[in-house]
Amino acid sequence: MTMINYAKKEIICKIVFYGPGLCGKTTNLKFIYGKIGPQYKGKMIALATEQERTLFFDFLPLDFGKIKNFNTKFQLYTVPGQAYYTNSRKIILKGADGVVFVADSQIDRFNENKESLKDMAVNLREQGLDIRKIPLVMQWNKRDLPNIVSVQQLEEVINFRKVPSFEAVAVKGIGVFETLKTIIKLVFKSLGEDD
């Protein structure tokens, strides 16, 4: 849930990057962190295992400056993709203002994408959020690899809401900022509807 502090003239929004294990959620945040100037970001926190997989979450605070006389900040989180971290994913989704679903484009990961999307819907519902209404962007990551699912199939099976989607190669930054800019726009649009 967006936090608005009128005394401090500050708006803080939470965006969660969700998807199966090793799909590129953390890679997105690392690329953003590496390209944004120091004046616009806080310290990135990554809690990873020895295999460099996200253990609990990654966190990246971004400061976008003033919008309508309010300091606007975004908190970017990733969830662990592994099935046995379901409780962590639920906790991290709490209060989310928007979600980026990062799908792994590889054919052998297609079912994991579907399962992760179902899991996200359940976890959102448990947090009082509706997957059909929350600002959502789809990212089709790893488009540079061989043996990938077609974008058409990803759109038909994963993108049931027909929300904005982007082809990406997160390790090279392709599609990363397009995804981020779009989810930020959708979150701001949803804030305007609540006023």
Reported as a single tens digit per residue, the pLDDT across 5-32 is 888 888 899 999 999 999 999 999 999 9
> Residue 53, class by beta-carbon neighbours within 10 Å (0-12 exposed, 13-18 middle, 19+ buried)?
middle
pLDDT at 194 over 60: no
What pLDDT was estimated at residue 52?
47
Q: Is the dihedral of CA 184, 185, 186, 187 positive or negative?
A: positive
pLDDT at 174 over 80: yes
Q: Are 33 and 60 in contact (CB under 8 A)?
A: yes
How many C-beta neighbours within 10 Å does residue 84 have?
Answer: 7
Domain spans in the chain, listed from the N-terminal domain onward: 3-194
Which pLDDT band, with edges at 50, 70 and 90, does 43 fall under?
confident
pLDDT at 96 over 80: yes
Torsion of CA 169, 174, 179, 185, to 10 degrees: 180
Fold (CATH) for 3-194: Rossmann fold (3.40.50)
pTM, entire model:
0.91
**Pick from 32-36, 108-112, 170-174: least confident:** 32-36
What pLDDT was estimated at residue 84?
56
**Pick from 28-37, 139-148, 154-163: least confident:** 28-37
